[in-house]
Amino acid sequence: MTTLTRSSLTDFQVPARPRTAPSLLARIIATLRVWRRRVRERQRLAELTEYELHDFGASSGDRFQELAKPFWRG
């Protein structure tokens, strides 16, 4: 005789799919997001006061050096 067991609803498992490299479109989108984030962060950095810069250990020279970088350079 065969015994049937009832599993709970939370015991569901999706079979693992093999990991594949992200598509070209996915990589382009990810790169654009990184570039946008850098632009926003550098804009915010440009708005900081001297007091705020020194609060986290940066100088005006550090800020200038970071702001001089193009958005595609990290």
Q: Is residue 16 part of a domain?
A: no
Q: Is residue 73 part of a domain?
A: yes
- Give the Cβ contact number of residue 58 at 10 Å: 16
Q: Is residue 32 part of a domain?
A: yes
pLDDT at 12: 54
Cα separation, 43 vs 67, in Å, equals 8
Q: Provide the domain count of the chain.
A: 1
Q: Residues near 38 by Cβ (< 8 Å), separated by ≥ 6?
A: 71, 74
Instruction: Kindly report the pTM of this predicted structure.
Output: 0.66
Task: For 11-65, write each residue's pLDDT tens digit.
Answer: 556 667 777 888 999 999 999 999 999 999 999 999 999 999 999 899 999 999 9
The range of the structural domain enclosing residue 30 comes to 23-74
Q: Is residue 67 part of a domain?
A: yes
Q: Is residue 6 part of a domain?
A: no
Cα separation, 58 vs 53, in Å, equals 5
